A and B are shown apart, each in its own frame.
Chain A
Amino acid sequence: MNSPILEMKNITKEFPGVKALNNVSFRVAEDEIHCLVGENGAGKSTLMKVLSGVYPHGSYTGDIVFGGDVQRFRGISDSEKAGIAIIYQELALVPEMTVYENIFLGHEIRNGLMVDWNETIKRAGEVLKKVRLNVTPSVKVKDLGVGKQQLVEIAKALSRDVKLLILDEPTSALNVDDSENLLSLLRELKNHGVTCVLISHKLKEVIEIADSVTVLRDGQTICTLDAHKGEVSEHALIKHMVGREIDNIYPKRERKQIGDPVLEVRSWNAYNPALGRTILKDINFNIRKGEIVGFAGLMGSGRTELALSLFGNPDGYRLDGEMIVEGRKKHFKHPQDAIKAGVAYVTEDRKGDGLILIQDVKQNITLANLSKISSRGVVNSNAEVQVANEYKATLNIKTPSIEQKVANLSGGNQQKVSVAKWLFVQPDILILDEPTRGIDVGAKYEIYTIMTRLVEQGMSIIMISSELPEVLGMSDRVYVVSSGKITGELPIKEATQEKIMQLATD
């Protein structure tokens, strides 16, 4: 093993009511890819925020030794100067700015008092080449897909001479190709002397890329495994993460009570006036009672837009076509109508349009169905607490109290709150958009189990997912979407990864 570039010793970090890190030690050798894994709320993001100075020296106890020196970072700029760059779970680019402006944001290249744009563009081109991103530096970030934005973030880090690159769940929003691309880039960087810490819930990719893996559980270091000694396997990782063995990733299901169609969509077209183009073309599909239907496809294939267009059309697309719910033709003018008709939609972007981060767990859970726990417009706070506690227990939401602000929950636990909120609506048709993004294995299993139970009780589920194994493991039927069109329908028996990928790239 190489000498350590980073050693974090006995780090303890407390928030009111939560000990997020309890005496954690973390050691990263030079020029390796070191993965950090653990359940939702285990403390991974917190540990990295301590390292990068988001939580400044003094707000935690313990020592950070980086590059041989004890460090006392007072803020991110200190850790950046020392050569640490962190890319967060949520991207931090300015969408309205160009790629080159973003890359050099905060450390502009100057010529006297003025920014030297020519030099900036030239150097931006160079780092973009390093991350193998083939775009003109003058394109705006908002016009790039997530995968490319991710690369711009890395380019930004590389532009300032980084020694240790930290990525917090970089692939959770990427499709297979973009993920592969990113991983091979990390390998390349490793050969050029950039050490890398990667946080991920995708164990396959951890196994594929890690030189070593540290497992955290409940704010404590459980172990560090060395891949070159063959210590890293899916089985071992799960066991250390969860603290017990998990055999099945997908719960067993009896697929028998599939009934009549509850939702039928015919010749459905949508035109987005904001973009000035048609985004859904001649969509036809149906969902039957008690069925889980997977919608597979690449990111950006139009599945979220489809869901929104069915769910009261909040973005104001121009729609055309027929939607039949439980045998009746329906026309939802607002999500409110859809909810009343028994449709629920768990959004893909929990922070952007799913949750109210400044409100607490219970308020978020009850928001979409407040009338259920109120009489004559007055909320019954007892009932609210009961409901929230119930969902906290069934979904195993890790929070010190249901009065905790959602912003203070870990990413995966926020996702659970978002799911709980829509379960409380008790819909007949549940649309889940990337339901397990950023969720740990144990919690995934919990969510799958809940889905299974719900369909057994007669609910119908539309599951939009870019995770092929999940689509294959959970669905009764699969529709494949590509560029706003349904390019295929596969009964689960005939569906394979290859077939889906082929249809998805049609």
Chain B
Amino acid sequence: MSFIKNAQKILQENIREYGMFIALFVIMAFFTWRTEGLFISSRNISNLLNQTGYIAVLAVGMTLVIVIRCIDLSVGFLAGFLGAVAAIALVFWGLPVYVVIPLVLALGIVAGLLTAFLVAQMGIPSFVASLAGWLIYRGAIQLVTAGTGTIIIPDEAFNAIGNGFIPDIFPAEAGPLPGVHKLTLILGLLGIIVFIVNEINGRRKKQAYNFEVLPMDMFILKLVFVSALVGGIIWVLAGYQGLSWTAVVVLIVVLVYDFITSQTVLGRHIYAIGGNPEAAELSGISVKRLTYVVFGSMGMLSALSGILFASRLQSATTTAGTLFELDAIAAAFVGGVSAAGGVGKIMGSLIGALVMLSLTSGMNLMGIDISLQYLVRGAVLAAAVIFDVATRRRGK
């Protein structure tokens, strides 16, 4: 009894932190029930992750942009445009994949730095500067595809990024679990172990400093919950074709950015700027320089998003990237990023992206009309932000 009471109390106190996980869980459970298990099928989950990929990387970059009190509207068409550039480089210039990808990423960085120049150097509000970018890249994508229309990409290596899966160490049918992707299972298991060890170490450290920690039973409950969630997803994926390359790319991006934001001086400085730009400047942090860094990273991730999307469609289209920026912004806000700046976690935005795309995927499976889908997604966005604001206020 006291265990349940305890759990309730902890949940109430940390609802902001766990709310998103729970929301995601509830949404997935709901769709699984309504689609008689179709939603949670290996194939669908695998698809869902691949669709989330190109929005998730944008949401990661957007998190930092919003944290420093800016916004970048140009990312969608920039992604589309750079996807087209990648296609042209592969198809018409005949460049190999290992040249095209770094090239496109570099172009993305340049595009980001250009926006940063307008914002940091010229003092133009980022909303306006990136709106200009939105128009420009939209024009640019139509310009470069004008002669050809949709460009089909025949390169298998390139297309594998959006459609392929990591190879297995054992042949699929051999070994103890036939039909299951063993490398995926092993990686998943490793991930869970690393997570648990990390959590235990972190808790020890906090205790050594007499900081507040979760009571033991709650701590274990949290470990079990997260491990089960991750383990469940891994199991489902392993039952299909295993981890996709997209998922691997997204995981790497998320881990790297999570590390940067939470452990490094750079991350600290970014959040300081978001919290109080004047104070940050007077503390010796160059707001200008970091504006370049943040927009540069956004540009690079836009390029990555463009690559993931083009590779997934195995082609570059004239409308690629439409509305990506709004999906990314929505994902970030659903994931708890504050519009006032200075607050927001990378992991939150990833979950936000998963929530938004689970909704789309689930409603598609249920055959819900597209107009209704927009209504539902809008309502969820509003609800998430209301929830965020309300819990933030209560925390004060």
Contacts and interface: CB of A to CB of B under 8 A. Distances in A.
A255 interface: no
B268 interface: yes
B342 A371 contact: no
Contacts of A311: 282
Given A356-B342, A359-B275, A377 B264 contact: yes
B278 interface: yes
Interface string A311-345: 11010000000000000000000111011100001
Contacts of B263: 378-379, 381
A464 to B, nearest CB: 15
A371 B271 CA distance: 16
Contacts of B211: 401, 403
B45 interface: no
A347 B282 contact: yes
Contact of B284 (A336, A347, A363, A378): A336
B342 A339 contact: no
B43 interface: no
Nearest to B202: A381
Interface residues of B, number: 26
B283 A368 contact: yes
Nearest to A347: B282
Contact of A335 (B268, B269, B276, B283): B283
A105 interface: no
A211 B90 CA distance: 86
A359 B264 contact: no
Contacts of B265: 370-371, 374, 377-379
Interface centre among B263, B269, B283 (most CB of A within 10 A): B283
A357 B275 contact: yes
Size category of the A interface is: 35 or more
Contacts of A385: 209
Given A353-B279, A357-B275, A368 B209 contact: no
A378 B264 contact: yes
Interface string A106-136: 0000000000000000000000000000000
B332 to A, nearest CB: 17
Contacts of B281: 314, 335, 353
A367 interface: yes
Contacts of A338: 284
A367 B278 contact: no
Nearest to A336: B284
Given A356-B275, A363-B272, A367-B280, 8 more contacts: A336-B284, A347-B282, A353-B282, A356-B276, A371-B265, A379-B265, A403-B212, A408-B396
Interface of B: 205, 209, 211-212, 263-266, 268-269, 271-272, 275-276, 278-286, 342-343, 396
| Nearest 7 CB-CB pairings of A with B | A356-B275, A353-B278, A336-B284, A368-B283, A339-B284, A370-B265, A356-B276
6 contacts: A345-B282, A358-B342, A363-B268, A368-B283, A379-B268, A381-B205
